[in-house]
């Protein structure tokens, strides 16, 4: 099944299982909940809002979707103070000024109406397309394959930007006063992520399908490790997932996410540890726990103790 | 076929209704969306309805347990285990109706002289009066005064630029626009400078037993701080952490307080301040909310937990916050020394230590928050 769904026209995806299979072919293992949300986002042509702890693979979803569809992958990283000029479009002012000087030097500006000068200046060739505009116009070009637009960490932007985003996402169109309207012929697949450092506005949430990405179960994490880091031996992958799950229950400041367990498994392979022992953990704990207090808490309990309690030895 | 569809639709609508009854806000648009989602996923798929609803009806992780429960009742035919949480909490906020038992007191306090001057002096007396010693009527009056408190908060530079006529970074957009009017010559130049926006204000109100006399008055202050300003967050700290921002965001203080009271399940419960702070740090504060913010803790510092936890959590908070203001109503007590273990542990990490036992002291606090 996985073979014949790629590349896809997303609205042709027939079932949730198709989504699971197609993402698995991109080395992304989605559980039923996430796959359903993605399936619905594709079929209903709605953006999907993914919230969850850092490092659970929210951003990866968008990348996997893009490789699956073969469409453009366009990423907008949000940050404080981001505005339309950085997110949608800007005019290339230096080119515009140069154009003006050239026109002036050629004597073309004298007696020309301001409106005509403006027309020459606000031409598409002076337009700098930022990610949102790219996403709306890129889909037009290709053969019906939508682009995948990732709006990453939307919680870092401010409310003004959110309101503005809402406008674009409800119409999949943007109007540039000097040029006209850009409307996506095929709406892009939109993935929005948030680390939930603040609440995203309700209006934006209502516009989106919502999924809370939780830490994976041990079995799933073993599968993920096997897929993403195939050179990690199965036994080691299992132990790594068990220890990670145990650490997540210890009330740490920053419980390890999938990204950290992947790093950790890689590190263990690199230092040649075939199975887990307290010493190997001590050497590599920096890839897993990134707060001094967390490391100390784990150490205080004893790596040996953690190991014996999860491995039941 | 059509009838089957109808039956299903009815089930879906009933489910959405049940969610609403259980307290989950479900707008009509979401119900329609849910219907479409189920149609896409197919009702025959195991878990299909469940996940379709999760994606369309639930918008916050906190709502997931409630959703699960209602789902179980509605779709799996499970007999309701009786959710105690929908039972209205037995909290009555003091000011809503003036208590009957202090009528005599009010009468004895009303002197027979000129009404205007009496009111004036009454305000003066009241604003210096300890909240814990106020009658219900006096509290009600104080609350009205508190509702008038407004403050704007500190500002900080931000990355959103604003136009400026003289100096800063060249604003090419405006400059080019202006050049069009001067035959392409950029005679008039515009500039940009970094804008300012208010620092986020985070209020943590201790609602545990030892604070009871003050918490009900202070939450008014918290409400006054929340209204009319963006970027204010409010939490109740008790045996657990309750976010009040949404509840307090209406302009009607009575409605806001009623809703906040519903949200806080542990009014006057035990005191584990350090743990409460840890919850705040983990779930919100250190992840971004307290970063660069002015954090105001309204608490007497009584903590039955381990003082080491308190100290550690305050240290974490102080590493991300711009400023920590601690408001302790007991500080005004003559001869007060911060002997409460929690308070002693917290104090080294506090930038400003203030009283908060009466209206005057809250005005000082409002000033402290506003100060640059």
For residue A279, CA distances in Å to A249, A290, A300 come to: 22, 18, 14
* Partners of residue B232 on adjacent β-strands: B201
A205 touches chain B (CB under 8 A): yes
Burial tier of B361 (Cβ tally within 10 Å: 0-12, 13-18, 19+):
buried
Written as tens digits, the pLDDT of chain A (313 aa) is: 334 444 556 667 888 999 999 999 999 999 999 999 999 999 998 999 999 888 888 999 999 999 988 888 999 999 888 888 889 999 988 888 888 888 878 877 676 777 777 788 888 889 999 999 998 887 545 566 788 999 999 988 887 888 889 888 888 888 888 888 888 888 899 999 998 877 788 888 888 999 999 999 999 999 999 999 999 999 999 999 999 999 998 878 888 999 999 999 999 999 998 888 899 999 999 999 998 888 998 999 999 999 998 887 5
On whether both B187 and B75 belong to a single domain, the answer is no
Residue among B42, B64, B287 whose CB faces A212 most closely: B64
For residue A46, CA distances in Å to A21, A37, A84, A274 come to: 21, 10, 22, 45
B263 vs chain A: nearest CA distance in angstroms?
A: 17
Q: Can you give the pLDDT at residue B152? A: 59
A135 vs chain B: nearest CA distance in angstroms?
A: 23
On whether both B187 and B302 belong to a single domain, the answer is no
Which chain B residue's Cα is nearest to A95? B176
Q: Can you give the pLDDT at residue A21? A: 92
Residue B327's nearest CA partner among B303, B304, B346 is B346
On whether both B231 and B344 belong to a single domain, the answer is yes
Q: Copy the structure tokens of residue B146.
A: 């508190």
Q: Which of A12, A13, A15, A16 to mutate to test the interface with B (most CBs of B within 10 A)?
A: A16
In a domain, B8, yes or no: yes
List all residues of chain B from 227 to 246 with a beta carbon under 8 Å from chain A.
230
B318 vs chain A: nearest CA distance in angstroms?
A: 15
On whether both B331 and B362 belong to a single domain, the answer is yes
DSSP B80: P
On whether both B165 and B249 belong to a single domain, the answer is no
Handedness of CA A106, A110, A111, A113 (dihedral sign): positive
B4-41 pLDDT, tens per residue? 667 778 888 889 999 988 888 888 888 889 999 988 88
On whether both B306 and B214 belong to a single domain, the answer is yes
On whether both B214 and B173 belong to a single domain, the answer is no
Q: Backbone phi, then psi, for A292, in 5-degree steps?
A: -55, -45
A7 touches chain B (CB under 8 A): no
The number of domains in chain B is 3
A9 touches chain B (CB under 8 A): no
Residues 6 or more apart in contact with residue A263 via CB below 8 angstroms: A287, A288
| CATH 3.40.50.620 given to domain A2-87+130-213 | no
Asked if B58's CB is within 8 angstroms of A209's CB, the reply is no
CATH number for B319? 3.40.50.410
Asked if A110's CB is within 8 angstroms of B183's CB, the reply is yes
B284 touches chain A (CB under 8 A): yes
B55 touches chain A (CB under 8 A): yes
Q: Can you give the pLDDT at residue A106? A: 81
CA B256 – CA A15 distance, rounded (Å): 45
Q: In B, which residues are within 8 Å of A43 by CB distance?
A: 40
On whether both B61 and B10 belong to a single domain, the answer is yes
Q: Which of B32, B64, B86 is the last residue of a domain?
A: B86
Asked if B40's CB is within 8 angstroms of A253's CB, the reply is no
B213-266 pLDDT, tens per residue? 787 778 888 887 777 666 788 888 877 788 888 777 776 666 766 777 776 766
Q: Which of B43, B55, B196 to mutate to test the interface with A (most CBs of A within 10 A)?
A: B55
Q: In B, which residues are within 8 Å of A83 by CB distance?
A: 160
In a domain, B100, yes or no: no
B176 touches chain A (CB under 8 A): yes
Instruction: Name which residue leads in pLDDT, B126 or A279.
Output: A279
Neighbouring CB atoms inside 10 A of B324's CB total: 22
On whether both B272 and B165 belong to a single domain, the answer is no
Continuous H helices in chain A: 16-25, 32-44, 58-69, 84-87, 93-105, 114-121, 131-141, 159-171, 202-207, 218-228, 234-248, 258-270, 278-284, 292-301, 303-311
List all residues of chain A from 211 to 250 with a beta carbon under 8 Å from chain B.
211-212
Q: Copy the structure tokens of residue B234.
A: 């409010």
On whether both B292 and B190 belong to a single domain, the answer is no
Residues 6 or more apart in contact with residue A75 via CB below 8 angstroms: A62, A131, A149, A150, A152
Helix axes B212-226, B359-370, angle to 10 degrees: 40
In a domain, B287, yes or no: yes
| pLDDT average, residue stretch B332-359 | 82
Q: Can you give the pLDDT at residue B266? A: 65
* Partners of residue A151 on adjacent β-strands: A76, A192
Asked if B172's CB is within 8 angstroms of A97's CB, the reply is yes
Q: In B, which residues are within 8 Å of A113 by CB distance?
A: none
Q: Backbone phi, then psi, for B332, in 5-degree steps?
A: -75, -20
Helix axes B2-21, B64-75, angle to 10 degrees: 140
Q: Can you give the pLDDT at residue B74? A: 82
| pLDDT average, residue stretch B341-346 | 84
On whether both B245 and B279 belong to a single domain, the answer is yes
Q: In B, which residues are within 8 Å of A195 by CB distance?
A: 287-288
Q: Which helix (H) or strand (E) holds B139?
A: helix B136-147
List all residues of chain A from 85 to 124 with a beta carbon under 8 Å from chain B.
85, 90-91, 93-94, 96-97, 100-101, 103-104, 109-110, 114, 117-118, 121
In chain A, where are the structural domains located? Answer: 2-87+130-213, 89-125, 218-308
Give the distance from CA B134 to its chain's centroid: 25
Q: Are strands A180-183 and A189-194 parallel, antiparallel or unpaired?
A: unpaired
- Structural domain harbouring B172: 157-197
| pLDDT average, residue stretch B298-320 | 87
Q: Backbone phi, then psi, for B191, in 5-degree steps?
A: -130, 165
Residue among A32, A43, A205 whose CB faces B51 most closely: A32
B36 touches chain A (CB under 8 A): yes
């Amino acid at each position: 099944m996985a073979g014949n769904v790629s590349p896809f026209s997303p609205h042709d995806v027939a079932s949730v299982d198709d989504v699971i299979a197609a993402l698995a072919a991109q080395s992304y293992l989605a559980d039923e909940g996430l796959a359903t949300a993605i399936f619905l986002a594709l079929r209903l042509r709605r953006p999907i809002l993914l919230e969850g702890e850092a490092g659970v693979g929210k951003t990866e979803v968008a990348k996997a979707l893009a490789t699956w569809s073969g469409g453009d992958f366009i990423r907008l990283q949000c940050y404080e103070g981001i505005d339309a000029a950085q997110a949608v479009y800007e005019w290339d002012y230096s080119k515009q000024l140069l154009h003006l000087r050239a026109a002036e030097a050629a004597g073309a500006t004298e007696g020309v109406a301001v409106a005509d000068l403006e027309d020459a200046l606000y031409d598409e060739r002076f337009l700098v397309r930022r990610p949102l505009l790219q996403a709306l116009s890129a889909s037009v070009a290709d053969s019906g394959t939508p682009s995948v637009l990732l709006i990453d960490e939307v919680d870092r932007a401010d409310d003004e930007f959110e309101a503005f985003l809402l406008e674009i996402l409800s119409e999949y169109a943007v109007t540039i006063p000097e040029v006209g309207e850009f409307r996506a012929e095929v709406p892009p697949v939109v993935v929005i992520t948030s680390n939930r450092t603040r609440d995203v506005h309700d209006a934006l949430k209502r516009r989106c399908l919502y999924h809370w990405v939780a830490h994976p179960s041990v079995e799933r994490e073993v599968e993920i490790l096997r897929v993403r880091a195939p050179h990690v031996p199965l036994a080691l992958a299992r132990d790594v997932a068990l220890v990670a799950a145990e650490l997540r229950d210890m009330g740490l400041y920053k419980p390890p996410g999938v990204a950290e367990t992947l790093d950790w498994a890689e590190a263990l392979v690199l230092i040649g540890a075939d199975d887990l022992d307290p010493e190997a953990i001590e050497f590599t704990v920096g890839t897993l726990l990134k707060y001094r207090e967390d490391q100390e808490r784990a150490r205080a309990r004893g790596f040996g103790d953690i190991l014996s309690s999860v491995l039941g030895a | 076929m059509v009838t089957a569809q109808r039956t299903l639709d009815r089930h879906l609508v009933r489910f959405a209704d049940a969610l609403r009854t259980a307290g989950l806000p479900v707008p009509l648009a979401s119900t329609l969306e849910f219907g479409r989602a189920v149609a896409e996923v197919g009702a025959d798929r195991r878990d299909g309805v469940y996940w379709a609803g999760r994606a369309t009806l639930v918008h916050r992780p906190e709502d997931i347990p409630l959703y699960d429960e209602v789902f179980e009742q509605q779709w799996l035919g499970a007999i309701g285990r009786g959710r105690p949480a929908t039972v209205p909490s037995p909290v009555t906020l003091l000011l809503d109706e003036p208590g009957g038992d202090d009528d005599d007191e009010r009468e004895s306090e009303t002197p027979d002289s000129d009404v205007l001057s009496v009111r004036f002096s009454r305000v003066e007396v009241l604003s210096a009066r300890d909240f814990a010693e106020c009658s219900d009527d006096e509290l009600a009056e104080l609350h009205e005064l508190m509702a008038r408190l407004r403050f704007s908060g500190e500002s900080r530079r931000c990355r959103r630029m604003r136009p400026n006529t003289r100096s800063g970074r060249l604003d090419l957009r405006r400059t080019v626009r202006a050049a069009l009017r001067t035959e392409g010559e950029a005679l008039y130049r515009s500039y940009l400078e970094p804008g300012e926006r208010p620092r986020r204000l985070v209020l943590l109100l201790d609602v545990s037993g030892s604070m009871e006399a003050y918490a009900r008055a202070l939450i008014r202050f918290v409400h006054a701080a929340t209204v009319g300003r963006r970027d204010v967050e409010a939490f109740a700290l008790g045996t657990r952490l309750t976010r009040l921002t949404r509840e307090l965001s209406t302009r009607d203080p009575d409605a806001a307080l009623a809703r906040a009271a519903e949200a806080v399940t542990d009014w006057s419960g035990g005191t584990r301040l350090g743990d409460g702070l840890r919850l705040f740090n983990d779930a919100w504060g250190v992840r971004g909310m307290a970063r660069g913010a002015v954090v105001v803790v309204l608490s007497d510092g009584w903590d039955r937990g381990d003082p080491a936890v308190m100290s550690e959590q305050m240290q974490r908070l102080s590493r991300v916050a711009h400023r920590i203001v601690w408001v302790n109503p007991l500080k005004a007590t003559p001869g007060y020394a911060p002997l409460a273990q929690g308070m002693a542990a917290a104090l080294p990490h506090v930038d400003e230590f203030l009283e908060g036992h009466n209206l005057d002291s809250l005005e000082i606090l409002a000033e402290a928050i506003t100060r640059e």
